[in-house]
Structures are given as C-alpha cells and as structure tokens.
Amino acid sequence: MSVTATFKIDYHQFLDENGEAHSDLPGGKLPAFADNPADLVPLYRLMVLTRLFDAKAIALQRTGKLGTYASSLGHEATHVGIGAAMREEDCLAPMYREYGAQFYRGVKMSDVLLYWGGDERGNDFSVPSHDFSWCVPIATQCLHAAGAAVAFKYLRQPRVAVTVVGDGGTSEGQFYEAMNLAGAWKLPVVFVVSNNQWAISVPRSAQSAAQTLAQKAIAAGIPGVQVDGNDLIAVRWAMEEALERARKGDGPSMIEALTYRLSDHTTADDATRYRENAEVEEARRKEPLSRTRKFLEAQGVWDAKQQEALEAECAKQVDAAVAEYENTPVQAPEAIFDYMFANMPESLKQQRDQHVKEMNDG
C-alpha cells in the first residue's frame, strides 16, 4: 500500500473567550490589521450596533410591527469579520442573517426591516448596489457566488465573490456543485460556512458524519480552514488570506467559522423545544462581543464610558432606522407588476390595469 494523498484541517483562534490574544503567526504577532488595536474599535462598534439592532427587530416582531425575523445574535464576529475583510467592489451573496457584514458594506438597517416587514424595497440597496440580496432557499446562493466569480474572471476584474452558507446548507447539493465548479475553474470566490451548530432543530452532528465541514472543501480541491467564528480577528484574518488568494488568481477557498446561534432560528421558532439550555449557556460564555470588548479594554483603547456612549448612540441610530421603516408607505398596487419584465407582456399589462382599477374603485 502507498498513500496517495493526505489532508489536514487547520484551526485558528487569536482572541480566546476571555479576550486574551495569542497568535500562531510568525513572531507570535497578530495580523497587520490588528497591529494597532484602535483600528479594531470601529469593528467592535459595528458589532454592538448589530446586536442592538437585532434586539430591536425581535421586539418589533413581538409587537406585530415586523414579520418573521432571522436573528444574528451570536454571529456578530463572523459577520463583521467578513464585511471588514472585503473590498467595496467585491460581491457578497449572503444567506439571511449576515447583517453585520451587510451593514459594513452599506446596507441600511431600514433595508433589513423593510425586507422582513414584507416590502420588496428592502432588497433595493443603494449601497452596495452590486451585492445580492437575502437568499432564503438554502445554499442556492453558493452557485450565484460561483457565477459572479466566473463573471469577474471573464471580465478581468480584480474582484472576489463571497458567499455565506449555514452548517445545514452544506448538506445541499448546490453547495457541493458550487465548490466543485469553483475548484475546477479556479474561480475568485470565498465560501464561508457559518457553522452555528444548528439548522433549525437539527444539530450539526445530524447533518454530516464529517469531522469538520471545512474538509468538504478538500474534496473540491480547494483549501478549507476552520476558525473560531466568535473571534473577530481570526475571521477577518482568514477572510483576508482567502480574498488575497482569490484576487491573485490562485482560486477559491472555504472558511468554516465556528459560532453559535444564541437565538431561536427565527422569531417563528421556539428553540427550547429541542435544545438544552445548558448548551446555550455554555455557548453564551464564548459569545463574541464581550471578548472583543475585554481585549480592547486591556489594550487601553476602550472603557466603560465609551461603551455607555456607544450604546446610547446605537440606540439613536436604531430608532431612526425604525422610524424610517415605519414611515415608509405601502407601495402602489402597480408595484406588484412593474418589476416583472423590462418589457411587460400585454396580458400582464391587462392584469395590472384591472388590478389598479379595482384598488381605486375600493
């Protein structure tokens, strides 16, 4: 017998759950972007904003002012880390809870509210105008990212497509199809598996017998790495490595970010039906915000007063977004029809005209 191939999966963490930094990089140094800890402050601020926004969105849903909403509670480091590593011209194909990444890229909080409030205009981001919007059919977005990468390569644009898929989503055929294509064609795309341990009520262990999800990349012939998804520095570092690789023409990568869904799956779900509180509490100890804050405080670039001021400022911003959302009137009846085609078929025009007339007649 001889061995034809062997594989390993690396795991990276820079900030542990107590906010203590250590590094396996040469010289024991933190990545360049974290050289000056003050540079991380804006990212921390966005993580806090995302969390406060999230709590507000859930409260709105509970009082009947928002539809079903998918919380990002606990995923903030993964999401903001993704956003911070990307360039403006890169393209994000998200699933449905990556608000931190989207806010970094310019999506407005009111956009998120409009979408979950049942208004298509939430998908009409003014910035980033080229990003895909939320993608509910699980894992279908992976192929869009691969296709976007084909376009960037074809058009000789130094851009990278990034997609996010859940641990559950890695069971879908389309996830494999996308990675396989990306590997075979050496596409500039980064696949992020947001492994939050649960797909609604189904635990990670029931999705796959694979020891890691990162190793699924190996079968597609592309590098796969695991990072602590609650560690902002690790996520951003791995993302930057992967983006750089892709931008240089060295092809796709996959990053498995290990995090935890601290919330119910969505506001329509009740996680106490299927998971133990002890597990959630254990995960809560590892959540991303407090460790980032501890780190920044220990570095002398953050303190309780700043925290207090930040929370007040975030509350104001969130309230303003809610007001914008609540003051957005319902679209005109013709909006149901007007975006179906560039050149509307006659039969559809007739349906539109009749509908508008009926609405006007009351």
Partner 1 sequence: MAEVALVEAVTMALAWEMAHDDTVVVFGEDVGINGGVFRATAGLQEKFGKERVPDTPLAENMIAGMSVGMAAQGLKPVAEIQFMGFIYPVVDQMISHAGRMRTRTRGRLTCPMVLRAPYGGGIHAPEHHSESTEALFAHMPGIRVVIPSSPGRAYGLLLASIRDPDPVVFLEPKRIYRSYKEEVEDDGEELPLDMIYTLRDGTDITLVAWGAMIKETLEAGEELERQGVSAEVIDVATIYPLDMEGILESVERTGRCVIVHEAPRHCGVGAEIAAELAEKAFMHLLAPVRRVTGFDTVMPLFRMEKQYMPSTKRIVKTVLDVMAES
Active site residues: 261, 265, 274
Between 99 and 302, CB nearer to ligand TPP: 99
Q: Does 93 bind ligand TPP (CB under 6 A)?
A: no
Nearest approach in angstroms of CB 198 to ligand TPP is: 6
Q: Which residue stretch of 9-17, 134-142, 184-192, 315-323 sits at the interface with ligand TPP (rule: CB under 6 A)?
A: 134-142
> Contact with Mg ion (CB under 5 A): which of 80, 93, 148, 199?
199
In which residue are the tokens 């990276």 written? 12
Which of 141-149, 163-171, 245-253, 280-288 is the region at the interface with Mg ion (rule: CB under 5 A)? 163-171
Round to whole Å and give the CA distance between 244 and 1: 38
169 near Mg ion, judged by CB under 5 A: no
Which range touches ligand TPP (CB under 6 A), out of 193-201, 214-222, 282-290, 317-325? 193-201
Query: Across-strand partners of 158?
Result: none
Q: Which parts of 194-213 interact with ligand TPP (CB under 6 A)?
A: 194, 196, 198-200
Binding segment (CB under 8 A) for partner 1, from list 40-48, 284-292, 312-320, 352-360: 352-360
Nearer to partner 1, 67 or 106 (CB): 67
Find the part of the chain contacting Mg ion (CB under 5 A) among 6-14, 25-33, 42-50, 190-198.
190-198
Does 261 help bind ligand TPP (rule: CB under 6 A)?
yes
**Residue from 54, 98, 269, 287 binding partner 1 (CB under 8 A):** 269
Residue with Cβ nearer ligand TPP (271 or 298): 271
d(CA 48, CA 268): 24
Q: Of 136, 278, 312, 342, which one interacts with partner 1 (CB under 8 A)?
A: 136
CB 78 within 8 A of CB 261: no
User: How far is CA 297 from its chain centroid?
Assistant: 26
100 near ligand TPP, rule: CB under 6 A: no
Q: Is 117 in the site for ligand TPP (CB under 6 A)?
A: no
Residues 201-260 that bind partner 1 (CB under 8 A): 201-202, 206-208
Q: Please report, as ranges, the residues that interact with Mg ion according to CB under 5 A.
A: 166-167, 196, 199
Residues near ligand TPP (CB under 6 A) are: 97, 136-138, 166-169, 194, 196, 198-200, 261, 265
Residues that bind partner 1 (CB under 8 A): 67-68, 115-120, 134, 136-138, 168-169, 171-174, 199-202, 206-208, 268-269, 273-274, 330-331, 333, 335-337, 340, 347-348, 351-352, 355, 358-359
